[in-house]
A and B are shown apart, each in its own frame.
Chain A
């Protein structure tokens, strides 16, 4: 079972992401199921990372308490090797570059996202390694 951590300050986004990713055929993931954990609070998510290893972390960029890059770098303190994605509508080039360089983003997706692109990205990332937990 692949564990995926979803963080966005908007609950509807979280639900949409979860629903969308849930439709991925398990066969595309070598038979592994997908398990999602969603957080609207980055702090709570960070705390969770201390407790649980994940196979993929997907975060928004623009969030009230801290931005996605900060969040991911905090996550890296606990799980330095976990694949990291940012899905964001905030088209700040500088921020994107910073994100890629600082936290070594695996993928960056723009909102509104294309479901097909999203599925492809997630599948290709998860398949690179067996589940950690």
Chain B
């Protein structure tokens, strides 16, 4: 924009013309000023950087006044320092740079200093200026002819200042210039402010961006850390789970290896376990570039033992060699030396049960403390899992053992149960026998009592009958004698005697009285026999001793006794086996055999057969007497052993025989059994133990 220069009024022009010229000049000035201000405003609002803008402003100001020497200074109130945002000067060789911060105190008492301090426009030459300031005035740089300084005020305070100056006649500054500069100054201030704000904002944004980038970096690091921890957690979880999976130890180690391989380099990896007695190491799982397999060895001076002793170890090749030199380990046991070796013990209940190792044979693969920490975490989980597996194993074993024991026990119990059932059956049997014995015993007692009561009267009746028989015999003899005597006395006496004989029927009496007595005696005899049987029945102890006897002898003697009775009725067939001697009361057994044989004989009506056989089964012998007689009806059979029970006609038995026999067999701890089929026959089977229970 072209700005008309000011023209000095010429003396040749008339005053009206000069007035007009002056007014025109003024208008032109106003217009150019306005234009300038617009331009400045524009500049201020433009996107140009600070220096460009200031240069543009300088150019605009330069068109309005002499501004060859022009500077804008900015005051940082906080720091009490200034910066020359823009500086041009034809005379001053020292151009301060705009980015240099100068403390205000450094330009103390200078024009600029006063300007900023006073916050008032100052103009004029040095002299005049001196009067405008309070206090001393120091001139920096070359003295100027004319100087115009305008503070840029904000809230009454000088934020900065604009200065123009001239070193020669070329520039003289007027009040208009001052106004203009002030105006410019306020605009510049606004522009500067705006720019500053923008700059500040940009700075802030940049700072913020840097901060955010930094924060982001930190966040990224955290995320990486978090992810690492998660991976580790997942790995530990996996290993923990392995405790309960139904796999063998090798598979378990293999899976652990896989998990660890996901966390760190585990190309060369092994898990070693201490034996129960801690005397040897077994390499439960071994993967290595240099070796195929690793046998178990007794604990010695290897790196594994070192770790078990000292704790976790992170070793470089040099460290390993140093340990060997110090005698802590034996290189022979160690084998090929790794470039980097990391071992962590497996602890269960604070005791080391083994260790876990990763190693690298390449120099570029190394492990650090973070890896050691990681491996430690893993190791504790592996130890835990191992421990749990071992516990589970021992639990399983215990369970199997328990199951077996339970099965054994159950079998035992079954067997015992069976035994008990047998014993129970025997007991019931014995009880029944006992009941029977009781019955017999009480009847026996009764019998004994009755027998005793009867004894006395029977005793004397019997005796009296004998005596009577004697008496009667004598009496009858006497009567006979009297008869003989009477016959000798004469016919009349004889006749009288004969008459008496006939009347009283002496002959009949002579026959019948003796018969009466005889029959009575028979009756008493039978009663005596009954009493004797009763006594036998009730007698507990005959005072006989137990003896070892050949049963066949007893049978033979009994057969002898009965043969007279039986020989007309029955043939006897004997089938004797080889029998040992048995412990028994011989006469009592005889009684039994007698009774049974007599019964057999009595069962046969006309003619028949009696079989007598013997045998042995286990610890018992048996005697069987069979007949083909009339048999025993079914309804009678259960009562056969009852005392006084008899099917025989009156007078042929007491009904005590079988009861007594039963009692004797029971006394011998034996068994007597009768089977019978009516019209066909009867079999009596007697079982006796060879040895009596003690």
Contacts and interface: CB of A to CB of B under 8 A. Distances in A.
Contacts of A22: 467
Nearest to A91: B535
Contact of B459 (A23, A89, A91, A93): A89
10 cross-chain pairs, A with B, having the tightest CB-CB distances, nearest first: A89-B455, A16-B460, A16-B463, A112-B459, A19-B467, A111-B459, A111-B455, A20-B463, A115-B466, A112-B458
6 contacts: A19-B463, A20-B466, A89-B451, A89-B459, A112-B528, A115-B466
Contact of B456 (A19, A91, A93, A111): A111
B541 interface: yes
A91 B466 CA distance: 24
Interface in A1-15: 10, 12-13, 15
Contact of A112 (B455, B470, B539, B541): B455
Nearest to A11: B460
B271 interface: no
A16 B467 contact: yes
Contact of B452 (A12, A20, A89, A118): A89
Interface string B441-465: 0000000100110011111111110
A20 to B, nearest CB: 5
B539 A12 contact: no
A11 B57 CA distance: 183
B272 interface: no
A61 B305 CA distance: 105
A123 interface: no
A131 B26 CA distance: 213
A17 interface: yes
Interface of A: 10, 12-13, 15-17, 19-20, 22-23, 62, 89-91, 93, 111-113, 115, 118
Given A62-B452, A112-B463, 8 more contacts: A12-B460, A13-B459, A15-B460, A16-B459, A17-B463, A89-B456, A112-B524, A115-B463
A122 to B, nearest CB: 13
B135 interface: no
Contacts of A10: 456, 460
The prevalent SS among residues of A at the interface is: helix
Interface of B: 448, 451-452, 455-464, 466-467, 470, 524, 528, 531, 535, 539, 541, 543
B654 to A, nearest CB: 16
A60 B106 CA distance: 169
A23 B455 contact: no
Nearest to A97: B543
Q: Which of A10, A16, A91, A113 has the most CB of B within 10 A?
A: A16
B463 A113 contact: yes
Q: Which of B451, B463, B524, B543 has the most CB of A within 10 A?
A: B463
B461 to A, nearest CB: 8
Contacts of B535: 91
A36 B510 CA distance: 32
Contacts of A62: 452
A11 to B, nearest CB: 9
A19 B464 contact: yes
B500 to A, nearest CB: 28
Contact of A13 (B460, B470, B531): B460
A106 to B, nearest CB: 20
Q: Which of A12, A62, A111, A115 has the most CB of B within 10 A?
A: A111
B528 A93 contact: no
A44 B452 CA distance: 25
A70 to B, nearest CB: 19
A10 B459 CA distance: 11
Nearest to A8: B456
Contacts of B455: 89, 111-112
A91 B528 CA distance: 14
A16 B531 CA distance: 19
B404 to A, nearest CB: 62
Contact of A93 (B461, B464, B466, B543): B543
Contacts of B459: 13, 16, 89, 111-113
Contacts of B460: 10, 12-13, 15-17
B456 A23 contact: no
B675 to A, nearest CB: 36
Contact of B464 (A16, A89, A90, A91): A16
B119 to A, nearest CB: 157
A85 to B, nearest CB: 14
B362 to A, nearest CB: 113
Contacts of A16: 459-461, 463-464, 467
Contacts of B467: 16, 19-20, 22-23
B540 to A, nearest CB: 9
Given A16-B463, A111-B456, A23 B543 contact: no
Contacts of A112: 455, 458-459, 462-463, 524, 528, 531
B539 A91 contact: yes
A12 B467 CA distance: 13
Nearest to B524: A112
A113 B460 CA distance: 9
A90 B452 contact: yes
Contacts of A12: 456-457, 460
Contacts of B531: 112
A10 B457 CA distance: 9
Contacts of A91: 448, 451-452, 535, 539
A13 B541 CA distance: 28
A59 B574 CA distance: 50
A14 to B, nearest CB: 9
B541 A93 contact: yes
Nearest to A89: B455
A67 to B, nearest CB: 14
Contacts of B456: 10, 12-13, 89, 111
B460 to A, nearest CB: 3
A8 B172 CA distance: 195
A131 to B, nearest CB: 24
A62 B461 CA distance: 19
Nearest to B528: A112
